[in-house]
Each structure stands twice: as structure tokens, then as C-alpha cells.
Chains A and B, each alone.
Chain A
């Protein structure tokens, strides 16, 4: 601690240079944080996927439905404790830019299947009784200013017409990363529309099944059993864990990991060069001072420590500031944060923050290492002769 004054005085020697270096660290770490936030946004479904849940969908693709009759047959497979089904409903609220996922659900099984979504009992009971009812996630409700009791119109896309729904309830996720953007409405309402409009190709067909197993260890066996049960039928299935299903969904957006790794690597390499150069200049311009320190009894190792600690401090302060900026960005409300239009859940976790700080510290130490080594090896006599 008694050397802190010396380190601080050295850091503030050239204030503009210090703030520019801190700034470059902050910008780089802010970018790092945002890249991770976006990656996490894409992978959100993977992180919150239930280990005991499987998704069975048509082998041809997600857009091709499966018969509702499969539900009871899947329930017969040993290890299966619950089955529910959902359909995608690509509706639009007022403007096509107002994207949020809408699902047709089975009210009898949905709540049991997804206990992580918390809904007050009275709201749920109202929803079950109301064929035109809907349950909406808290994020979407806040975004559009919806309240329980509101009646809202949704414009159908592949099922044309205006659908009117009563907001009977608002659900909240019980975990930080739970998706609070979904909009659910009743299977009976959907079926009624299909019957009324004589749209037979979707009648009695579901988008996919979600299957709960008694033990995650049985997941693979159950998945194989489901696919085997419907092999050689008109509607063959592909069953996978919920996590893999979500990952596959994320992959449709391109190789996000590769993109992030590429941009991140370029940023860090640039930062390494900038900081390394700054540290080298900082050491070179105080050669005589380092020599005096050594002359009065400071060891080579201390001089190494001194230079490295300066580099590390710049890295940590700049890193914390940059990551705090990224965190601030994630907290911006949806109406001023354009990224939230397509990635509603922007979340910078403590883990990412820690990884960011560790990365910043590594860059700081690596960039400071060679200047510090030079300072450590400095011979007092040579350094004083140069003055």
C-alpha cells in the first residue's frame, strides 16, 4: 500500500495520455461486453432450457406441423410425464416492426410444463375460462403499455384477419434470463378460427410438442423412442433436447460465436498494440527515474512490478468503465434501444463481467510485460549515462 502513491503519481504523469489509454480500454471492453450480450441474447433459450424437456417437431422442418393425435401416443412412452403442444402464430401488432413471439397453447398443460413462468392464479383461471383470452410476458406488456383487462388487436399473417384478444394475465420469469416476451392464446380459439374459415391443412395439427421426462438421464432414450414410434409415417418426427432445439434456432442467425470471436480478437490485438506502445513510451521517458529508484535500493523485481501494476491498473479501471457502459446499454428501455426490437432480452451477467475484467487484465499485463522487462533489466550506470 505504501507504494500506491508512487504508482498513482506515475499514472497521472501525463493526464491526457492516461485518459486516452483508459478510453481505448473502455471502448474495447464496452464492445466486448456488447458482443457477449448479443451472443447471450441469441443463446438465451439454451441457457434457460429445461434439462428434462424435449421438443418433437416434424422431421421435414419446423414449419411443417404434426398431428394432434400424437400427443396421447407420446404420453404412452415410459419416462414421459407430460406433453404439451404449441403452434407458431406470426401476428403483427399495429406495425410489422413490433415483433414478439405469439404461440397457440394448450391451457391444461402449459403451466405445468413451464413452472418458471409465474402467473397469479386468478389471472390464469380467467384465461382458462376466456376463449379470446391471452397471457402476455411482462416485457411485451410494458413495451406496449398493456394491462390486464385490455382488449388488443393482432393482425394475422399466414392466417389473415384481425384477431382480438383480452389480456387476462401477465407472466413474469422467475430467473433473470427467462423470456418475458411471449404472447399465448388458446388452442380452442385457434381451432375455432380454422373451422370457421375452413382451413383444413392446419386443422388438428400442432407446430411441435414439448415433452417432459421423469429424469434428464432418460432424455436420449425417450427422444429415440418418440422418433421410432412415428418412423415411416406421413409425419415423421425429430426429437431433441430443448437446449439443442434452442441452439439450432440460434444457428439460423449465422455463426454468432465465430463473428464474436473474430471481432473480439481484432479488438484485443489492436488494444494490445496501443497499450503496449503507450507503456513502452511511458517507460522510455522515465529511464533515468527508474535508474535512480534502483540506485537508492529498489530491486529489479520491484521495478518490474511497478510498471506491470501501472498497466494492470489502467486495464482494470478502463475495463470496469467499459463494461459498466455495456451494462448501462442493456438497461436502456426498449423504446430507446433499437437492439431490443429483435433481441428483447439483453443481459450482461456477472460471469461475463468477470470474464471481461480478466481479459482486460490479461491484455494490460501482456502489453506491459515487455516494457516492464526492459525496465527490470535496465542497468543503472547505462541509464544515468544516457541522461
Chain B
């Protein structure tokens, strides 16, 4: 495991952020949410970001997922520099490379679980039969094969989040971004979701970046990075931590 925050990671990093900054202007005042942040994440790593509200965790996730553009610095994912992509190209890039898991699930209530998971595949050239196969596989991975024809309102919170995870992995993206995936769940459901994410990392070699407030949840990740006032200030790793950043 080779998560680094010192900007000295090699070009083999799957995700590489250099001098990343994000500044908002509010009422004439400049708010620096992220400042000169460096990050290197390798393929197959599970990284948790912690920090108090307003520390810039979600902003960092949005930048890495191409949902927002940085005020300074650059982001390279699997060799693609995404910082200067047009809105249209960035949208296409997201469809290919990023799977999103949100705290509030954000499923479309009028679509069944199957249709929700199928959404990213409608943008591909896959046939209907191929799409069905992919969706069934993804719902099988999250253990909801028997709920594929249910609407979100007919599912529990934990099941809804599992459908969201199925939607995130169905197109086999390069990495997953999870924004407080257990934030709206009870402990038992949260544990189940974390088991599922860990299985995606270990069995399916998925790279996962996760924002959480919960130290127990963060403890399941390979590495936990702490953001405070837009700066990465410390890091933990259950497996390996290096000095001069994080190893």
C-alpha cells in the first residue's frame, strides 16, 4: 500500500492530485476549502477521509470524481488529466471511470431496483440482454437478486444503499467514491455496507475513496487521511504508514 500525501508519488499512481486547491468566493470573502493538497492513491487501495464539518472532505471527493473543478492544481486518474477537460468530456469520463455512492442513496424513486442499477449502462452500446446480465451480476454481488423488481420505497435503508452500490459498480468503473455511505444507517446496516465495500476491495480489487465521520467505519479502510481546514494534516494506516507523508 502506497498512499502518499507529500506529492512524491510516482507516475504509476492510479489517482494523483498535485497542489490541489479550491476557493469559493462568498460575499467578497475568499474561502479556501482546499489548499495545495497532494495525494497519490494506488489501484486497489481503500482510503478513508475524516475531518470535521467544513474541512473539505466532500469537496475533495467532488474534485476527484470530476463533479467540480479545482481552483488550482491538477488531478490525473489512470493517466487522464481531468482538470482541464470540458464539461462534456468530463461527463463522459465520469461514466467510464467513477462509481458514486451517496449518503442519501439518491435512487430514482419511480424506477425499480433493476432499472436504477441499469441507468449507467443505458449510456453504453450494450444490448438489452447484456445489460440485463450486468445488472443481475451487480445485484447478485450486493445480495439483492431477490429484490430487483422492488421500488426504493419497498426497500430498507441498508438495501437501498446496496442498490446504490450495485449502480456504482455495474459499469465496472476505475474507482468508487463513497460520500458517508453509512451516515444514514443504523449500526447493523452500516456494518453490512462496510463488509460489502471491503469485499469489493478485496475480492474485486476495487479502489475506494470514502468520506466518513465515523471512526469505526474509517477504521475498516486501509488508510485514513485527516482533513482539517482544507489541509491533510495527519494519516493512519492499519497496514503501512510512511513518514514524509503516508506510506
Contacts and interface: CB of A to CB of B under 8 A. Distances in A.
A244 interface: no
28 contacts: A3-B122, A5-B111, A6-B122, A9-B111, A10-B110, A12-B110, A289-B106, A291-B106, A292-B106, A293-B119, A294-B91, A295-B65, A296-B94, A296-B95, A296-B100, A296-B167, A297-B91, A297-B95, A297-B120, A298-B91, A298-B123, A299-B92, A300-B87, A380-B68, A381-B67, A384-B106, A387-B104, A387-B106
Contacts of B108: 9, 289, 292
With a 10 A CB-CB cut-off, give which of A291, A292, A296, A380 has the most chain B CB atoms: A296
Contacts of A6: 111, 115, 119, 122
A288 interface: yes
B62 interface: yes
A198 interface: no
Give the size range of A's interface with the partner. 20 to 34
B88 interface: yes
A197 interface: no
A295 B100 contact: yes
Contact of B120 (A10, A13, A296, A384): A296
Contacts of A292: 100, 102, 106, 108
Interface in B80-97: 87-88, 91-92, 94-96
In the A-B complex, the 3 residue pairs with the closest CB atoms: A297-B95, A9-B110, A292-B106
Given A289-B106, A297-B94, A298-B123, A381 B115 contact: no
A2 interface: yes
B202 interface: no
Contacts of B92: 297, 299
Nearest to B126: A2
A13 B104 CA distance: 20
Nearest to A8: B110
Given A9-B115, A295-B65, 20 more contacts: A6-B115, A6-B122, A13-B110, A288-B104, A294-B91, A295-B67, A295-B94, A296-B94, A296-B95, A296-B119, A297-B91, A297-B94, A297-B120, A298-B123, A299-B88, A299-B92, A380-B68, A381-B67, A384-B106, A387-B106
A296 B95 CA distance: 5
Nearest to A13: B110
A288 B106 contact: yes
Contacts of A380: 67-68
Contacts of B111: 5-6, 9
Contacts of A298: 91, 123
B91 A299 contact: yes
Contacts of A299: 88, 91-92
With a 10 A CB-CB cut-off, give which of B94, B95, B106, B111 has the most chain A CB atoms: B106
Contacts of A10: 110
A380 B67 CA distance: 6
Contacts of A291: 106
A380 to B, nearest CB: 5
Interface in A1-28: 2-3, 5-6, 9-10, 12-13
Nearest to B124: A297
